[in-house]
């Protein structure tokens, strides 16, 4: 049975969660060398965008997970972030962001432009996006995760010297968008049966969307949608990539 938390309880819980996320001292996770080794392993694996890897070199992933899990933060593994959700493994995050960058390189933007992220979770990917984009809007349906991410991103703002901090919304990312648009890049960290129509409408001409989608019995596949304009008409060109395993895209807020 799920527990219904009142807003103040949710906020208290988020503050308590965030307080536990302070990195444990003495295990060297603050050392840039630990992150650099993770990035070197990713680079050896090949195929990732160098600008994405340099953002991963800057953002301290251990600050986004519970202190008990911090020693695993630089392994290539997904980790629980509470409320039945997970932070994706670094190679999957690197892959999604590299695909977004590839889409924007065709437009010679040099950055991801205006980005919409569905599924803020702990805020790690939003922090990376803030290093790669002109501005980031991120939506999360679970209030405790939304509040926790807000605190973590605020605490990192001066260290990471973003142009702009991500703007976070507590909302159902499939619902009526109150966060504006259009966006040059859209990325979802949760997978549904279909790509919601609202996301396609929010994608700017020339923009790229990357999201996991369910493909019947074959499970989730990473899907790219490019908004192309051909002879004055919009077309949304889909390509599917490798199999992935993301948490489900759910409706409503809690
Ligand atoms: N990018 C995140 C990954 C979080 S996992 C990170 O770096 O931590 C995916 C998140 O999507 C979960 O937190 C889940 O609650 C959220 N989610 C699922 N369906 C959603 C929806 N309809 N709208 C907004 N967020 C959603």
Among the atoms of ligand 1, which is closest to the Cα of residue 145? Answer: 13
Give the helix ranges, DSSP H, for 21-85.
32-45, 50-58
Q: Decide if 23 contacts 157 (C-beta within 8 A).
A: no
Tell whether the model's pLDDT for residue 11 goes beyond 60.
no
- Is the C-beta atom of 139 inside 6 A of ligand 1? yes
Domain count, the chain: 1
Q: Which of 116, 132, 219, 206 is nearest to 168 (CA)?
A: 116
- Is the C-beta atom of 59 inside 6 A of ligand 1? no
CA 124 to ligand 1 centroid distance, Å: 11
26 Rama sector, left if φ>0, alpha if ψ -120 to 50, beta otherwise: left
* 7 vs 23: CA distance, rounded Å: 27
- Is the C-beta atom of 140 inside 6 A of ligand 1? yes
Whether 46 is in a domain gets the answer: yes
- Is the C-beta atom of 191 inside 6 A of ligand 1? no
Q: Which of 22-36, 117-131, 191-205 has the lowest mean pLDDT?
A: 22-36
Residue-wise pLDDT tens digits, 200-234: 999 999 999 999 999 887 799 999 999 999 999 99
What average pLDDT does this structure show over 82-97? 97
Question: Which range of residues forms the domain containing residue 41?
Answer: 7-244
Whether 236 is in a domain gets the answer: yes
Among 88, 98, 185, 188, the active-site one is 88
Whether 85 is in a domain gets the answer: yes
Identify whether 88 is a catalytic site residue. Answer: yes
- Give the pLDDT of residue 107: 74
Whether 251 is in a domain gets the answer: no
Task: Write the CB contacts of 58 (distance below 8 Å, at least 6 apart in sequence).
Answer: 35, 131, 160
CATH code of residue 106: 3.40.50.150
């Amino acid at each position: 049975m799920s527990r219904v938390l009142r807003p103040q309880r949710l906020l208290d819980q988020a503050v308590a969660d965030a307080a536990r996320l302070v990195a444990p001292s003495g295990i060297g996770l603050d050392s840039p060398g630990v992150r650099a080794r993770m990035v070197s392993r990713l680079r050896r694996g090949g195929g990732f965008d160098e600008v994405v890897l340099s953002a991963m070199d800057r953002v301290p992933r251990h600050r986004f997970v519970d202190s008990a899990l911090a020693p695993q933060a630089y392994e290539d593994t997904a980790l629980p972030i509470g409320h039945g959700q997970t932070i994706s493994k670094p190679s999957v995050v690197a892959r999604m962001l590299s695909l977004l960058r590839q889409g924007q390189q065709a437009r010679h933007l040099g950055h991801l432009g205006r980005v919409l992220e569905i599924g803020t979770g702990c805020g790690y990917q939003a922090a990376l996006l803030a290093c790669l984009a002109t501005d980031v809007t991120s939506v999360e349906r679970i209030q405790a995760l939304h509040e926790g991410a807000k605190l973590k991103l605020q605490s990192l703002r001066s260290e990471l010297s973003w142009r702009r901090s991500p703007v976070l919304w507590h909302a159902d990312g499939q619902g009526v968008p109150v966060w504006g648009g259009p966006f040059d890049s859209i990325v979802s960290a949760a997978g549904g049966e279909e790509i919601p129509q609202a996301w396609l409408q929010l994608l700017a001409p020339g923009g790229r969307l990357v999201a996991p989608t369910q493909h019947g019995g074959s499970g989730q596949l990473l899907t790219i949608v490019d908004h192309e304009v051909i002879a004055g008409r919009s077309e949304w060109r889909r390509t599917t990539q490798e199999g992935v395993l993301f948490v489900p895209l759910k409706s409503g807020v809690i």
